[in-house]
Each structure stands twice: as C-alpha cells, then as structure tokens.
Chain A
Amino acid sequence: MSLIDSIALPRNFRLPRADGLVQWIVPLGIIVVWQIACVTGFVPTRVLPAPSDVALAGWKLLLSGELVRNIWVSFWRASIGFLIGGSIGFAFGLANGLSQLSAKLTDTTLQMVRNVPHLALIPLVILWFGIDESAKLFLVALGVFFPIYLNTLHGIRTVDPQLIEMGRIYGMTDSELFRRVIFPGALPSIFVGIRFALGIMWLTLIVAETIAASSGLGYMAMQAREFMLIDVVVLSILIYALLGKLADSASRVLERATLSWHPAFQKR
C-alpha cells in the first residue's frame, strides 16, 4: 500500500524535516478538542469520558498490572497467529506461483475458502476449541493467510519475464533464479500482503476476544462494559489504534530495509 502511495508522489516531493512530529498533529488536535468538549459539558461524560479520565483509568490499570497483562496476552495471540497463518500463506503462495501443478491442485479450493468470511466461523470455532487460546490463534491465522497468500502469488506471477529469461541465459540454476530474481521481484507485493494482513490480524483478534475470551484487550473492554466503566472501554479502543499503528510502522521499517533498491524507498 505504501509502495503505491509513494510511487504516486511526484519526484521532487520532499517530506518536511519534522516528519516525525507532523504526523501527530492531527491525533493530538483531536484529543485537545475532545477534552475541551468534555470539560465544557458539550459532550456528557456518560457518552464519552474526557481524555484525562481515560488516561487516569489507564494509569490505575497500569498500576494494578491488569493493563500490561492484557496487552501482552493480545500481542502474543496476534503475533503467533500471524506467524502461523503468514507462513502457511507464504508457503502456498510460493508453491502455487512456482508450480503449475500445485496451483491447479489447490488454488480453486483456496479461492472458495477465501470467500467465506472467516469471522462467520466463530460459532463453529467455539464449538471446536471452546474459548481456549487455540480458537483465537486459529481465527487470526485464517484471516492472515489470504492476503499473504494472494499477494505472494501475485508477486511471483508478475516478476518481469525478461529478467527471468536473462537469468536463464546467464546460466542461473533454479535455486539461484529464485534467490536472485524471483523472490526479490516478488518482495514489494509480499509487503503489500503483510500490511493488509496486519490490519486483518487486529480486527480478527479483537472480534474474537470480545465474543469469547477470559483475558486480553477485547475481554477487558467487555468486562468494563458490564460494570459501565466507559473510560476503560474507550481506553481499550485507543490502545487498539496505537497497536495497529505500531504494527504498520514495523512493517514500514522492514520494507525500507529490504527494498532500498526501489526508487520509491530511496532517500531523495
């Protein structure tokens, strides 16, 4: 996604020097306006607690250790599920991109499964796994699988055939051709898949934790709702936003490190 964004920029486009700060102006502005609206009574605190109240709730939960524990549980579920689903998706993408036989054998099946919304499986998954860890991991892995599978496959299929012909002329073996031509050529597309998958990862996890869990951020929010602790509910939502941003930044850093050859990622 960022790849396409960056390509669309004109060549002489320069990011402002204080890039790191500029991007936080809008979120901070929203918080300030929100605080003012709450303090003046424009928004009743029963509907939306003031940011200061949310911060206070966060501080209390932090002291009790509950917040860290729940964030850690959610983070752990998200990463393990992502690793499992991502690796399987990557493996299938490679296999189906490189082998006609494998593609014929599995692609149709995978496309059918893809069109079932994976969250529709929640009742079935609860019946299978209960509200155990495996249920959440299964759902996250399933959700993450498809964007990575599709984009890996697409990346490999669209590697410039002229480069592949060049590699063959210059006597590259199959493994060399993969390592030096096909994989680096597919990498930008694989990263698009990873960033889509990160979004789906959080979405799936939150829904799963809200419906059936005994720990984690989603569980914390649902508990708070039962006790009418609206500040904790809002706090959970804000933490989701921050975690999502964190995952996205991590993938950007990886992208920059591995795609430094790409004109879109070169320092201008």
Chain B
Amino acid sequence: MQTALRTALPETELASLANFAPQTRVVREERPAQASGLPLSIRGLRKSFGDNEVLRGIDLHIPAGQFVAIVGKSGCGKSTLLRLIAGLEKIDAGSISFADEVKAEDIRVMFQEPRLLPWARVLANVEVGLGRDRASKDADARAEKALNEVGLADKRDQWPSVLSGGQKQRVALARALVSRPRVLAFDEPLGALDALTRISMQRLLERVWRDQGFTAILVTHDVAEAVALADRVLVIEDGRIAHDVTVNAARPRERGSAELASLEGSILRHLLSAEDRT
C-alpha cells in the first residue's frame, strides 16, 4: 500500500492542481485490505446549552468506512453533533457507541481553523498528532509519511506562518492522519479556503479516505461539497435528522455532473423551504 501511495502521489497532485478534466483522474479501484473504519451507533442523543436545546433526539447508525456529510443551516446543531461524536462535549442524554473499544488516537477532528502551533515547525506540528507515541523513535518517520500523503514533504522544516491557508489545512490533515485514526470528524475544514483550493482539498480528502478507509464525518454548509464527497448526506433541522439521503454516484466523481447537481438541488430546495417555513 505504501509503495502504491508513493508512486501515485505526484500524479494525483498534478491532477488536483492542474485541471479538473476527467482523463487526468487517478483511478484507484481496490480498497486496502485492512479496512480500518469504525462503525458507530447513536441512540436518542440530546444536548442543550442552558435553555437552548440544540439536539433533540438523534438516532443514527454509521457503518464502518462510510463517508457521511452533515448539512443544515447555521445553528441547527450539526457542529454540536460532531463535537459530541469526537468527545469534545458531554452528552446530556442518549448514547454514542463504537463497535470496538476506542483509544483517543482512533478518533481525530479537523477544524475550520488549522490550529497549528505557530512556534513549532511543520514536522513537529504533525508529530503532535501521534498522541502518546510522540516520543517514540519512529515519530519522525511517521510524521514524514503523513506529510508525504498530503504532498507537503518539502515543507517539513518551515514555520506555519509562511504557509498558505490551503497548505496549513493540509498540515492539519496530516496531523489528523498520522495516528491512523478509525474515525475522522471534519468540522467545516474547507470553509475558509478559496474555491480552487477547496476543490483540490476535496480531492485530497476523498483520496486519503479511499486509501485509509476510515469512517469520515463531514460537517459542511456547502451542499455541493457534501454530495461530491459523501456516500450519505444527513440534513439536520431543529436538532433532528430531517433527511437521510444516499448518494450513489460512482467514484471518483465528476464535479458538476447532472446527477450530483440534481441531488444538490433537491437538498437545497429542502433546506430553503424549511427556512421559509420558520
């Protein structure tokens, strides 16, 4: 798997940077043997902040390795759901259970801000992601491999302040990937990027997800991004799952295809009509 990755990397980089024509896509059919994703089940999940009930009973099962996108208007509770799954907030009622016993390193979060340590070089920032393995001897090698996966191996000795916004987010992605997580939660990770960088980052996310097979949960306000990346799109309204849409389009997906566009349209119509009702 590693060798396949290395050789495939320059091509994918090119594909993501040069243009978006279909013939330059790198097709990777077979999934790695060790599908490392973790399934999770959520039962009757509730969460309030003071008097404000943000989540009002969420029931959800996510199979191992699925790419789930959560959309909804701001304040609908989608980020709260993600933070609960990642263990960043305390659950008021209900449960979130994973099939296996999980270690802290199995679940990683990527935020809208890169949250890199400005006083640590890029490589050291990636090593932060190793958790308790930070002090181990192969820490450098593992961090370098993760940097390689996001195409930033040559930036290992730079300060974060000299990187562009997209590069910082890629370092943050490498930091999240370096411990080989089984669940990766994305909290609008591309929200602050410009349109072209967004698209190349989306391709990168899709590629590492296909390579590593983790369960991906992406919170986004961009419906086009959700249908382009996810196997399944959840629409959250008033603290409940209002819609559960399966996206069957074949991968790798072509942006702007009629199939995705019509799906995007119907989800958007739903979100907007809900807006009109309130």
Contacts and interface: CB of A to CB of B under 8 A. Distances in A.
Contacts of A167: 128
Contact of A181 (B109, B117, B175): B117
A261 interface: yes
A170 interface: yes
A184 to B, nearest CB: 4
Given A165-B88, A261-B161, A262-B118, A171 B109 contact: no
Contact of A171 (B104, B115, B159, B160): B104
A162 B118 contact: no
B189 to A, nearest CB: 13
Contact of A170 (B111, B128, B159, B161): B128
A68 interface: no
Interface residues of A, number: 20
A184 B113 contact: no
Nearest to B131: A171
A180 interface: yes
Given A169-B86, A170-B129, A261-B161, 15 more contacts: A162-B111, A162-B115, A163-B115, A166-B128, A167-B128, A170-B131, A171-B131, A171-B132, A180-B117, A181-B117, A184-B119, A261-B119, A262-B118, A262-B161, A266-B159
Interface of A: 162-163, 165-167, 169-172, 180-181, 184-185, 187, 259-263, 266
22 contacts: A162-B113, A162-B115, A163-B115, A165-B115, A166-B115, A166-B128, A167-B128, A169-B109, A170-B131, A170-B175, A172-B128, A180-B117, A180-B120, A181-B117, A185-B119, A187-B119, A261-B118, A261-B120, A262-B119, A263-B161, A266-B161, A266-B162
In the complex, the 5 A-B pairs of residues with the closest C-beta atoms, listed nearest first: A184-B119, A171-B131, A261-B119, A166-B115, A263-B161
Interface of B: 86, 88, 104-105, 108-109, 111, 113, 115, 117-120, 128-129, 131-132, 159-162, 175
